[in-house]
């Protein structure tokens, strides 16, 4: 009685659309899954949807984009941003709790990205190649730059684009153009050949940010990108608390992750149908039943939350007079 087929039937009864000529099963399924995947998780952060997001670091790689990262513990072939609604502290690296920040100002105040500047290379009237070797290595990816004025009077600024964890190439800033050359992040060597000649005596400025690799102790979560500091020197397991998105209902015999949700999904889908059909009177009639089902779904989470008080800095203190009496955390 809690399957997708039953939810469809409930939707037809609630909306007064018993015939497939009025609305097809496929259309109803779209409304159900739209509410299930995108509306319900934002209305209700349920205890049953809490989980742990895990992934492995790569040595010498500091940034992990959740919009493109698809290989992670437990699930594969789906971008993280599509699977988890949001991430939240705490975060652990190899079992050690790490500092969590969502502020670039705070994070880079503690871990400043100070560049080494090389202005010893000058143009020789040709496009290149021009080479430099940084004394301090390895170098942080996406933070190696080169700039020069070519014989047309144009300023050419380039930034590195990683090709793997140890090497990269060049891309012209604010342009889709690429320049010939390479960067070795481990050895600190960089070469570039410009599209146009660099006049003799014109300075070519290279910059790069060196680092010392180690086990990460801090994490920045910003713009759906996880940035680790120190930059990993090996492969470590990272674990972060998360809310996962429900799984889409496809087959008629499938049930929601908790069967208790089936009537709430039917009410939610019906609500969206009335919204699309511009039927405020039916929406008003549906509202009490919708709210009742929402409260029933939320009730389980409320009961689960009451089993433990909100944690404070004193929660783990077991001795008198700080509290935690009767051995309860």
pLDDT digits (tens, 9 = 90+) for 260-275: 889 999 999 999 999 9
pLDDT higher than 90, residue 12: yes
Neighbours of 23 (CB within 10 A): 18
pLDDT higher than 60, residue 287: yes
Q: Can you tell me the mean pLDDT for 31-54?
A: 88
pLDDT higher than 80, residue 147: yes
- pLDDT, greater one: 86 or 70: 86
Q: Can you tell me the mean pLDDT for 69-89?
A: 70
At 179-212, the pLDDT tens digits run 788 999 999 999 999 988 999 989 999 999 999 9
The pLDDT assigned to 174 comes to 76
- pLDDT, greater one: 45 or 175: 45
Domain segments of the chain as ranges: 4-103+219-305, 117-208
- pLDDT, greater one: 81 or 32: 32
Q: Can you tell me the mean pLDDT for 284-288?
A: 93
Per mean pLDDT, which range of 40-54, 84-98, 305-319 is the poorest?
Answer: 305-319
- pLDDT, greater one: 328 or 304: 304
Please report which confidence band the pLDDT of residue 329 belongs to, taking 50, 70 and 90 as the band edges: very low
Q: Can you tell me the mean pLDDT for 232-249?
A: 89
The pLDDT assigned to 1 comes to 74
Per mean pLDDT, which range of 160-164, 178-182, 192-196, 310-314 is the poorest?
Answer: 310-314
The pLDDT assigned to 298 comes to 87
Q: Can you tell me the mean pLDDT for 318-328?
A: 51
pLDDT higher than 70, residue 42: yes
């Amino acid at each position: 009685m809690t399957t997708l087929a039953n939810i469809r039937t409930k939707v037809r009864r609630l909306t007064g659309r018993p015939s497939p000529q009025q609305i097809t099963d496929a259309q109803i399924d779209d409304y159900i899954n739209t509410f299930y995947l995108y509306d319900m998780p934002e209305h209700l952060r349920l205890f049953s949807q809490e989980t742990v997001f895990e992934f492995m670091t790569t040595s010498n790689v500091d940034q992990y984009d959740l919009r493109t990262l698809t290989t992670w513990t437990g699930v594969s072939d789906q971008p993280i941003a599509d699977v988890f609604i949001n991430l939240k502290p705490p975060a652990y690296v190899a079992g050690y709790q790490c500092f969590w920040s969502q502020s670039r100002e705070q994070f880079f105040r503690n871990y400043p990205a100070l560049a080494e500047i090389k202005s010893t290379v000058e143009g020789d009237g040709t496009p290149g190649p021009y080479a430099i070797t940084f004394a301090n290595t390895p170098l942080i990816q996406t933070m190696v730059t080169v700039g020069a004025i070519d014989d047309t009077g144009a300023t050419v600024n380039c930034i590195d684009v990683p090709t793997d964890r140890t090497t990269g190439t060049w891309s012209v800033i604010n342009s889709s153009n690429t320049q010939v050359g390479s960067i070795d992040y481990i050895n600190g060597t960089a070469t570039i050949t410009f599209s146009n000649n660099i006049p003799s005596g014109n300075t070519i400025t290279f910059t790069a940010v060196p680092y010392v690799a180690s086990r990460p102790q801090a994490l920045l979560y910003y713009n759906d990108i996880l940035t680790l500091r120190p930059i990993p020197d090996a492969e470590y397991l990272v674990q972060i608390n998360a809310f996962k998105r429900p799984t889409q209902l496809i087959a008629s015999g499938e049930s929601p992750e908790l069967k208790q949700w089936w009537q709430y999904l039917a009410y939610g889908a019906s609500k969206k149908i009335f919204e699309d059909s511009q039927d405020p009177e039916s929406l008003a009639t549906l509202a009490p039943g919708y709210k009742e089902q929402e409260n029933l779904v939320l009730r389980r989470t409320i009961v689960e939350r009451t089993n433990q008080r909100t944690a404070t800095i004193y929660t783990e203190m077991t001795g008198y007079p700080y509290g935690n009496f009767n051995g309860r955390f």
